[in-house]
Amino acid sequence: MRRVIFDIETTGEVLGGSLDFTNQELTVACIYDSQTRQYSCYLKEELPKMWAIFERADIIVGYNSDHFDIPILNRYYAGDLTKIKSIDLLKEVRAVLGRRLKLDNIAEATLGRNKTAHGLEAVAWWKTGEVDKIKEYCTEDVRITKDIYDYAKKHKSLKYKDFDGIREVKLDPSNWETVTEPAAMTHTLPF
């Protein structure tokens, strides 16, 4: 089972004055590939290298990825990333809890650590040309997402901080890694 866990960062600015947040310009995409056990980051012009990894994935895993990351990435991809089985951890939590939680909230309660920054800082770093800081931040978000995914698979739950302390949300990950069709996309071939 090849999993690609991913996160993206954007300029924070919507292209063409549109109100559609998915028209934001991508700055960095970072992934963890379970087959190689490697983390890697890609600037917009390097995305073709990343597509080959996505196309060989059985599942892709993110946080708020179905709503944000995948629609933005799809603007740069010749195919359709929604054809790959996706596990959006925020979507899983929201389906049970009925509300959205920040990744940082879950990370702190479940893993005992916080995110290293937030998206608005990544936007500011992009404006000042601090690309390495964005890559480090995005990679750490992928690490947190991977660790949260692994925790949820093992414990069938995640923890989060609420107004009155730490709470737990029960999840059913039994079908997360069930794939009915093998990943066999070839949209990055040069012809």
Q: 3-class secondary structure for the chain?
A: CCEEEEEEEEEEEEHHHCCCHHHEEEEEEEEEECCCCEEEEEEHHHHHHHHHHHHCCCEEEECCHHHHHHHHHHCCCCCCHHHCEEEEHHHHHHHHHCCCCCHHHHHHHHHCCCCCCCHHHHHHHHHCCCHHHHHHHHHHHHHHHHHHHHHHHHHCEEEEEECCEEEEEECCHHHCCCCCCCCCCCCCCCC
- 137-190 per-position pLDDT tens digit: 999 999 999 999 999 999 999 999 888 899 999 999 999 999 876 655 545 444
What CA–CA distance (Å, rounded) separates 40 from 61?
15
Q: Which two tokens stand for residue 109?
A: 């309660």
Question: Both tokens of residue 38?
Answer: 């490697």
Give the position of tokens 């917009």: 44
Phi/psi for 186 (5° steps) reads -140, 35
Q: Write down the mean pLDDT value for the chain.
A: 90
Q: How confident is the model at residue 90 (pLDDT cuts 50, 70, 90)?
A: very high
pTM for this entry = 0.90
Domain-wise residue ranges, the chain: 3-175
Over range 126-130, report the average pLDDT.
90
Between β-strands 38-43 and 59-62, what pairing exists: parallel, antiparallel or unpaired? unpaired
CATH for 3-175, among 1.10.150.120, 3.40.50.1970, 3.30.420.10, 3.40.50.720? 3.30.420.10
Q: Do the beta carbons of residue 42 and residue 169 sit within 8 Å?
A: no
